[in-house]
Every structure is written in C-alpha cells, then in structure tokens.
C-alpha cells in the first residue's frame, strides 16, 4: 500500500459479535419474528396485516406490538405437546397483563406468579386460583395470606422460614395448602452453556447436596397446614441444551426415591421449571415444544422406572418461550452519527428504559428498517437509546442500510419477554404501551404512561 493512503477494505473491522451482513437487509428471518409479521407491497413491515407506519401514527413510538395470534398459537403448541398428563404454567414475570391472563385461561394454561402484584393481576383477570402457582425466595406473610385465602393451587417453598410461615397462615385459615419444595440440583444452565460449578451458591431453593432439601421435606411432611405434593427445580434461562434438564430430572427423581424410602410417601408431582431458549438472532436454534415435551417425558419415565417409582405428573414453566417471540418494539430514528472507521450510532426514541436486557445481560438482538425497504449498502450500526448512560444500547451490532435517516422506523424483534416487564422510568421516561394485534385489529392492552402518571406518584 502506498504511503499516506489507507485501505479501509483491508482494515480490521471494529470489535463486536457480528457476522457478515445478511445478503438482503430487507429479508425477515421467520425464526426471530412473530408469526404474522410480513412486508407489504410497499416494503412496510406489517403485523396481523397492519402496516407499522399506520400503527406508529395511531399508537406512537416507542411501542411494543404483540401478535396475539402467535401468542395463542404458542400456548396451544405447549398445551398440546405436554397433553393431559402434564401441566404448563406460563411464567408471568416474562410479561403479564390482564389480557394475557385471559388468553392463558382460554387456551388452557396455568400461571406462575412471583409477587403480590402479579397475583393481584392474575386474580383480577379471572384466572382460577387453583391454576396459579406462587414462587419466589422471600414472599411476605401478607402475600402468603392473600394467596392461601384465594385458594391458590401451589405455593413453592423456598426456605425453612417459609415452610413455617405458610403452615402458620394455613393453620390460621383452617386449610391444608398444597406446596412444592424448590430444590437446587447442582446444575446451572445458561445461554448455550452448561455449567456445573458454583451452582449451589445462589439465593433460590434448598440444596440437594448436603441434605437441605431432604430436611425441608422432613419438616414439611410434619406440618398439618401443608400438603406436600412435589419437588420443584428451575435451572436457568435461555437454555437450548436438554442436558441440564436431564441432570435436573435425574436428581429430582433421586430425591423422590429417598423420600419414599424414608417416609413411605410417593410425592405425585415434579416441576422442571422454565428457561427454554428462543431465537433472538438467526444464530439461535430453539427447540419446538413437542421435542422438549418428548425429551423431558422420556427422561422422567426412564429415571422413575429405574428407581421403581410411578411416573409423577410433570409440570413446566415456560415464560420467554411463549411470549418472547410474539412481540417487537417499534422505534423512530432520531439521529444517525457515523464514527469514522468504527460504526454508526443510531439513536432511537426509547432505550434501556424499555429494554434493559442488552445492558444487563449483554443480550443480542437484531433490528430491521421497518417503514420501508432499501437497496443501499449495509452499514455497521449500534442502535442506542436516549438515556444518560453510554451503556444504553438496544442492539450492540447490526447492519442497516446506509441511507438510514431520522424519521425512519426501526423494529427490534423478540422483545416480548423481560422488556416491558423490566421497563423503568429512568430519566422519567414514560413506559411504552403494549398493543395487541390480531387479524387486522389492534388494541392497547397496556397504555403508554403519561406525565400525569409520573406526577401522580410524586406527592411534593
């Protein structure tokens, strides 16, 4: 190369986890988009047949658009895959609203809650209490009382204190509360990997190793207010590999066998938790519900046969795998700032207040130009929010057409889980609405916050 020139084509690309740009930046990978998302003949992204340009006009940006058709189809796929011999509990913390509770109820799913607020939402929207399970490592006595009074189906006990607390409340109310015991099985599974170290060093559950879990069973069986129905395990999140569930199921069944040997009781249920992964980008390959159901069923049946136990009723608790893929976030581009030799920063009208996952977990997302198509060259971008943090990143590395301009709409797929539910008012941001779309009709299920909402809490 001649002195004084710089060959950009030869220069090392900036650091990041991106692969080459897709051949067609306008293409939509069905893996990451909700079921009814398409482009119309003008190139505009549509959901349920409605163009996002019109949706943006009507509902504003940023906003979450939730494909109700897809949500219901996923509920049914889980329900059908597990059949009548198992229970599917939707993990409400992924995203909960009254509309969601009604859809779950209609599609025959049960519901997990982990706070008084989630329980109140579930009951208000008419979910029968018997179909709700209550989790969490520090439920207050008031929350426990509310749950037991309502006739909640399961309370998942997470500590020795809680065993006594729930028994006490049940005693006062004169009922026998069905409970499970949450155990830590000594495996922790996270994105793409399977870690078998440092697993017991966490706040949830009672460890199988060292006998804490067995001691919890002993104590729970002695208390009149408790009806111990099973053992519960939840090993992590965004899991693709079934190996973690395999170890978990084996160890839970071992405990069931020990309980039988020591107490002469066969506990009738095991809950294997949630954590099934979804496709955030084209690189992720999630399993279908029927594959997961088959694998879990086989593992449990095999382990129970070898332990001489009747196969217990299995339950699972997918949150992300149901709601995650069903929604996308729509943003408007405000500024486009090229940094020579690095990448272009694209600022949108939301950010870490509507999607904290990128900052919190280094989560990866993709993004597409939604209000039109473009044949311009790909440019490497980072999509950032409008908050006062340099870590306020929505999409760390992606390619968008080089003619991107303020006013364009961007859509980020797979934001249905843990985005609106973790949204904050940082910088006094107004949390975005959730708009459900079904067969050509759009309706707000959670409205946008207003400045009045903010000021109402601020009593001066």
Ligand X SMILES: *Cc1c(COP(=O)(O)O)cnc(C)c1O
The closest of 326, 327, 445 to 64, measured between CA atoms, is 327
The closest of 393, 371, 106, 52 to 90, measured between CA atoms, is 106
Out of 34, 47, 52, 91, the only residue in the binding site for ligand X (CB under 6 A) is 91
Window of 167-175, 244-252, 314-322, 443-451 that interacts with ligand X by CB under 6 A: 314-322
**Shortest Å distance, C-beta 324 to ligand X:** 7
**Shortest Å distance, C-beta 274 to ligand X:** 3
By CB under 6 A, is residue 154 in contact with ligand X? no
Q: Do residues 426 and 350 touch, judged by C-beta distance below 8 A?
A: no
> Whose Cβ is closer to ligand X: residue 76's or residue 168's?
76
First and final CA of the chain: distance in angstroms? 67
Separation in Å, CA 61 to CA 199, 349, 406, 433: 41, 7, 13, 9
Out of 66, 94, 179, 314, the only residue in the binding site for ligand X (CB under 6 A) is 94
The closest of 247, 267, 249 to 259, measured between CA atoms, is 267
C-alpha to C-alpha distance for 250 and 303, rounded to whole angstroms: 6
By CB under 6 A, is residue 429 in contact with ligand X? no
> Whose Cβ is closer to ligand X: residue 276's or residue 314's?
276
Separation in Å, CA 278 to CA 101, 143, 194, 303, 417: 21, 32, 17, 28, 10
The conformation of residue 145, written as its DSSP 8-state character, comes to H
> Whose Cβ is closer to ligand X: residue 135's or residue 396's?
135
The conformation of residue 233, written as its DSSP 8-state character, comes to -
Q: At what angle do helices 160-173 and 141-150 cross, to 10 degrees?
A: 50
Window of 29-37, 258-266, 271-279, 402-410 that interacts with ligand X by CB under 6 A: 271-279
Out of 32, 321, 435, 446, the only residue in the binding site for ligand X (CB under 6 A) is 321
Window of 31-39, 146-154, 270-278, 376-384 that interacts with ligand X by CB under 6 A: 270-278
Out of 169, 226, 276, 369, the only residue in the binding site for ligand X (CB under 6 A) is 276
Handedness of CA 397, 398, 404, 410 (dihedral sign): negative
> Whose Cβ is closer to ligand X: residue 26's or residue 191's?
191
> Whose Cβ is closer to ligand X: residue 379's or residue 414's?
414
Cis bond upstream, residue 440 (ω within 30): no
Q: In what order do the strands lie in the sheet with 45-47?
A: 38-39, 45-47, 50-51
> Whose Cβ is closer to ligand X: residue 212's or residue 238's?
238
Question: Binding string, 198-237, against ligand X, x = CB under 6 A?
Answer: ------------------------------------x--x
According to DSSP, the β-strands at 193-195 and 132-134 are unpaired
Separation in Å, CA 438 to CA 49, 285, 326, 360: 9, 26, 11, 32
Out of 62, 244, 274, 416, the only residue in the binding site for ligand X (CB under 6 A) is 274
Question: Binding string, 102-141, against ligand X, x = CB under 6 A?
Answer: ----------x----------------------x------
By CB under 6 A, is residue 319 in contact with ligand X? yes
Window of 35-43, 117-125, 303-311, 312-320 that interacts with ligand X by CB under 6 A: 312-320
Query: Which residues from 15-54 bind ligand X, rule CB under 6 A?
Result: none
> Whose Cβ is closer to ligand X: residue 51's or residue 275's?
275
By CB under 6 A, is residue 272 in contact with ligand X? no
Which residues on neighbouring strands pair with residue 111, listed in sequence order? 90, 132
Per CB under 6 A, residues contacting ligand X are 91, 93-94, 112, 135, 234, 237, 273-276, 317-321, 417
């Amino acid at each position: 190369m001649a002195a004084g020139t710089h060959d950009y084509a030869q220069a090392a690309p900036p650091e990041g986890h991106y692969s080459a740009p897709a051949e067609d930046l306008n293409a939509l990978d069905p893996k990451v988009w909700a079921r009814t998302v398409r482009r119309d003949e003008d190139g505009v992204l549509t959901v349920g047949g409605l163009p996002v340009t019109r949706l943006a006009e009507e509902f504003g940006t940023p906003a979450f658009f939730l494909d109700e058709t897809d949500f219901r189809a996923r509920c049914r796929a889980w329900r059908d895959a597990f059949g009548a011999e198992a229970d599917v509990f939707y993990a409400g913390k992924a995203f909960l609203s009254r509309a969601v509770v009604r859809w779950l109820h209609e599609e025959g799913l049960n519901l997990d809650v982990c706070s008084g607020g989630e329980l109140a939402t579930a009951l208000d929207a008419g979910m029968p209490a018997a179909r709700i399970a209550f989790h969490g490592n520090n439920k207050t006595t008031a929350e426990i009382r509310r749950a037991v009074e309502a006739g909640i189906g399961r309370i998942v006990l997470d500590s020795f204190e809680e065993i006594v607390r729930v028994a006490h409340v049940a005693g006062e109310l004169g009922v026998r509360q069905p409970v499970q015991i949450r155990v830590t099985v000594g495996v922790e599974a996270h994105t793409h990997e399977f870690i078998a170290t440092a697993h017991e060093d966490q706040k949830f559950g009672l460890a199988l190793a060292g006998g804490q879990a067995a001691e919890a069973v002993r104590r729970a069986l002695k208390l009149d207010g408790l009806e111990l129905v099973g053992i519960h395990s939840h090993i992590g999140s965004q899991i693709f590999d079934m190996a973690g569930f395999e170890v978990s199921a084996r160890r839970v069944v071992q405990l069931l066998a020990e309980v039988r040997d020591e107490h002469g009781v066969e506990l009738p249920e095991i809950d294997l938790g949630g954590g099934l992964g979804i496709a955030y980008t084209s690189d992720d390959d999630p399993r279908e519900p029927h594959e997961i159901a088959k694998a879990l069923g086989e593992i449990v049946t095999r382990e129970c046969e070898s332990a001489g136990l009747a196969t217990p009723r299995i339950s699972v608790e997918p949150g992300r795998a149901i709601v995650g893929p069903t929604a996308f976030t729509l943003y408007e581009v405000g500024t486009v700032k090229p940094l020579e030799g690095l990448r272009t920063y694209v600022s949108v009208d939301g950010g870490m207040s509507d999607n904290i996952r990128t900052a919190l977990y280094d989560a990866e997302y993709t993004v597409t130009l939604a209000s039109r198509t473009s044949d311009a060259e790909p440019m490497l971008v980072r999509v950032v929010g409008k908050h006062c943090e340099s870590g306020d990143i929505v999409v760390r590395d992606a390619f968008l057409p080089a003619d991107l301009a303020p006013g364009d709409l961007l859509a980020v797929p797979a934001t249905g889980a843990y985005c609106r539910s973790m949204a904050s008012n940082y910088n006094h941001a107004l949390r975005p609405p959730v708009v459900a779309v079904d067969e050509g009709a759009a309706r707000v299920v959670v409205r946008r916050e207003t400045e009045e909402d903010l000021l109402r809490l601020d009593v001066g």
